Amino acid sequence: MNSNSLAALRKSAGPELAQLAERHIEHDLQPTDREALNAAASKFSTHATIGSAIGLGLGVFLAFRVRRARMMTFNAVKAADKPTHVQFKDGRTEPIPDLTPLLRPSALGDAAAYFFFSAGGLFIGGETGLLTGSISAGRTLSRDRESRERIETAFRKFRADVLRREADALDRGRGEMWSGF
User: Which residue spans within 71-117 are E strands per DSSP?
Assistant: 85-87, 93-95
State residue 26's pLDDT score: 82
Residues spanned by the domain of 61: 14-168
Looking at the domain assignment, is residue 81 inside a domain? Answer: yes
26 or 41, which is more confident: 41
Q: 6 pLDDT band (50/70/90 cuts)? A: very low
Q: Give which of 110, 39, 37 is closest to 71, Cα–Cα.
A: 110
Number of structural domains in the chain: 1
Looking at the domain assignment, is residue 8 inside a domain? Answer: no
Looking at the domain assignment, is residue 131 inside a domain? Answer: yes
State residue 4's pLDDT score: 53
State residue 29's pLDDT score: 84
Average pLDDT, the chain: 85
Beta carbons of 99 and 80 less than 8 angstroms apart = no
Looking at the domain assignment, is residue 4 inside a domain? Answer: no
Q: Give which of 3, 61, 34, 49 is closest to 140, Cα–Cα.
A: 34
pLDDT digit string, tens, across residues 142-157: 888 998 898 899 889 8
pLDDT digit string, tens, across residues 107-160: 999 999 999 999 999 999 999 999 999 999 999 988 889 988 988 998 898 899
Looking at the domain assignment, is residue 7 inside a domain? Answer: no
Mean pLDDT over residues 37-60, rounded? 93
Looking at the domain assignment, is residue 84 inside a domain? Answer: yes
Looking at the domain assignment, is residue 5 inside a domain? Answer: no
Looking at the domain assignment, is residue 146 inside a domain? Answer: yes
